[in-house]
Amino acid sequence: MTRVKRCRRKDRAPKEPAAAPTNVRGYEKVAKTNAGFENYYQEQGLISEDEWPTFLETLKTPLPVTFRITGSRSHAQELRRILETEYIPRLKGIVIEGESVEPPRHLSWYPDRLGWHFTASRSQLRKSPELANFHKFLVSETDVGNISRQEAVSMLPPLLLDVQPHHWVLDMCAAPGSKTAQLLEAIHAADQDGSIPTGFVLANDADHKRSYMLIHQTKRLQSPCLIVTNHDGTFFPNVNVAPANAKPRTMQFDRILCDVPCSGDGTFRKNALMWKTWNHNNAVALHSTQIKILLRSCCLLKVGGRIVYSTCSLNPLENEAVIAEVLNRCKGAIELVDVSDQLPNLIRRPGVTNWKVINKEGVHIENLDEVPQEDKRKYLASHFPPENSGSLGLEKCIRVYPHLQNTGGFFVAVLRKTKALTAVDRAAEVRSEETEGSTTEPKEQEKSIEIELKSKKEGRINENPFIMMESDSEDIDQFGNYFGVSKNFPRDSFLVRSEGHKSKTIYFISKAIKELLGCADSNRLRIVNTGVKVFIRNAPKDDAFPFRIHSEGLSMMFPFLSDVRVIDICVNDIKVLLEQQNPKFESFAESTQVKLKSVRPGCYICRFDPSKETKTNNLNVVLFPVWRANVSVNILLNKKEQQSLTLKLSIAAKINIQANFNDTNTSVAKVKEDGPIAEN
């Protein structure tokens, strides 16, 4: 077996301010005023005098609930269909205490009506059964990852990155992962049964704990094309890869998303404590780090590739000033892309070409020479507008203000690499074992923002390794034969994460991820997670088969499986499985009983085809694993997955299900005869 170490580092601070909890005493009493903020932005002149009152009042109102329907194209369309046909009609015409409640509306600029917003307050949710049921639906689908509760403006960067299924994509500052999920959806946009994309997403974050949030956000997508790493974005390592029939080269990406750490002053509407804590020094301090992250990303980008740089800040020091400095440093190798024709229903404002640097006393500083001696270390030349700011195309940047479409504040810049920037683009000249995050640009520039990033030794903590399984291993032969895995399936892409001969969980990764893990430099990557759970080892009694298929990997594996372990069931059979724990064979439809009694104990896949029952023909085919014991059957879905399935059938199929969800807190429980009760 091939072993790949995964490592982690000490936790880092979050990349953006977390929303303040609403249950903290006194939180709602924060005075929504900050004279420093108002003076600073009025001095910047970003908002016209006519619009300023509306802008300021909008900041003082809470954001609407916004969410995005996630998953594969067919799955997302199914959920949207349920939302539009079953929930929206019931939410029309609701009046609470004389106030009309607007039903959810799709975001006019988001493709395929998959982005939505909803303005009902929490008190209104409690006072209307229809609203309460809809809220229950949102919570349930969010828990299993079918819906992402995501701020509307946060959905913009992945859309503008223009990801295609063959692209190598880097999400440089990825946590908590909602944007990463969008990137993965784009990678899988052209999927057909039995196809696995050649591209992948490498989701990176500097904070180890936040890296694990990525796993939950992307879990529902069940993608073998994702790898999660833990690196400081300013020092993301060079890694030599060796594609098939080619010489080793430094890994570079077709697309890179840089949603960088920022002051977050576009988030006043969801973080009321910003009114109390805001000061402009945060933007001054973060400016240098933002430049370094973007410069490192430029080095990691292929020629012809695209970067999207974004912040949830309004401050030009974190936005246009960063873009201007990078454009000037890269000397024509990087250019801004005009995306004014994309997302035509999005109301936006152009980037600015001039801005003011204001010190803590509120005094406008014209240039670096005017900075007092005691503040010299705080300010850089790049904080100030460059002489050529009017010719850099900064107006191609996108500014989104809260009062324009009832959103948060946001900044986006789309960049393209037109030619080689450094020796990193000529991998034969730079061996990655000699450089870690280094380039060869001239050194005469200010050291604080120089492109040549020095090697940085980082503390590492060993974890269990990633171990590639041999394609002819006994385990693969065993579950391959049992489930009838196609010969076309890449059996050399299974891995485990523990040493020894009896690993409990078996994962699957795509060919591109396998090549990355198998390269000589893979130990440079601190890998947090990769792979989709596909098979779990049990310790059953008697002659029960020792492996079960995991619900996470079922939809990906199913096109490659024969029908030998498939049991076709009706909707009432699902009702039985959700309402009863370990129902006996006699509880099911006669045709299901016949099948159950004809097979040996072990794991099977239940398939429900809604097209065969008229009251459920608006659903897609439903698949889930079960455990067939000696005289009973148990559904192999965790509690949240069972809740989601129950709600879907209750609403779409008008079936009253009194669910009795299994407790899934334990890793593997037992039914009375043999076999597992549920998945963890």
Catalytic residues: 312
Q: How many CA atoms lie within 13 A of 502 on its CB side?
A: 4
Q: Find out whether 546 is annotated in a ligand binding site.
A: no
What CA–CA distance (Å, rounded) separates 345 from 348?
9
Q: Find out whether 178 is annotated in a ligand binding site.
A: yes
Q: Find out whether 177 is annotated in a ligand binding site.
A: yes
What CA–CA distance (Å, rounded) separates 326 from 439?
14
What CA–CA distance (Å, rounded) separates 435 from 344?
43
With 0-12 / 13-18 / 19 or more C-beta atoms within 10 angstroms meaning exposed / middle / buried, residue 677 is buried
Nearest to 565 by CA among 635, 625, 486: 625
Buried b / exposed e over 296-318, threshold 16 CB at 10 Å, is bbbbbbbeebbbbbbbbbbbbbb
- Which residues lie closer than 8 Å to 304 by C-beta, 6 or more apart? 416, 417, 418
Q: Find out whether 427 is annotated in a ligand binding site.
A: no
Q: Could you give the C-alpha distances from 584 to 629, 632, 645, in angstroms and in order? A: 9, 4, 21
Nearest to 263 by CA among 243, 247, 278: 278
What CA–CA distance (Å, rounded) separates 453 from 234?
8
Q: Find out whether 176 is annotated in a ligand binding site.
A: yes
What CA–CA distance (Å, rounded) separates 134 from 118?
11
The distance of Cα 540 from the centroid of its chain, to the nearest Å, equals 37
The distance of Cα 536 from the centroid of its chain, to the nearest Å, equals 25
With 0-12 / 13-18 / 19 or more C-beta atoms within 10 angstroms meaning exposed / middle / buried, residue 631 is middle
Q: Where are the beta strands (DSSP E) in 432-549?
A: 461-462, 466-468, 494-496, 505-508, 527-530, 532-537, 547-549
What CA–CA distance (Å, rounded) separates 135 from 91?
11
CB of 317 closer than 8 Å to CB of 287: yes
Q: Residue 514 phi/psi, 5° resolution?
A: -60, -45
Question: Whose structure tokens read 């990463």?
Answer: 180
CB of 537 closer than 8 Å to CB of 502: yes
Name residue 307's beta-bridge partners: 256, 415
CB of 555 closer than 8 Å to CB of 193: no
Q: Find out whether 475 is annotated in a ligand binding site.
A: no
Output DSSP code: residue 16.
Answer: S
CB of 294 closer than 8 Å to CB of 258: yes
What CA–CA distance (Å, rounded) separates 453 from 367?
26
What CA–CA distance (Å, rounded) separates 544 from 468?
27
Query: Which amino acid type is present at position 277?
Result: T
Question: Whose structure tokens read 């006699």?
Answer: 586
Q: Find out whether 259 is annotated in a ligand binding site.
A: yes
Q: Where are the beta strands (DSSP E) in 448-599?
A: 461-462, 466-468, 494-496, 505-508, 527-530, 532-537, 547-549, 566-568
Q: Where are the beta strands (DSSP E) in 463-503?
A: 466-468, 494-496
Q: Find out whether 498 is annotated in a ligand binding site.
A: no
Ramachandran area for residue 208 (φ above 0: left; ψ -120 to 50: alpha; else beta): alpha
- Record the tokens describing residue 158, joined without a space: 């992945």
Q: Are strands 240-241 and 249-250 parallel, antiparallel or unpaired?
A: antiparallel
Binding residues, as ranges, are: 173-179, 205, 232, 259
Binding residues for S-adenosyl-L-methionine, as ranges, are: 173-179, 205, 232, 259
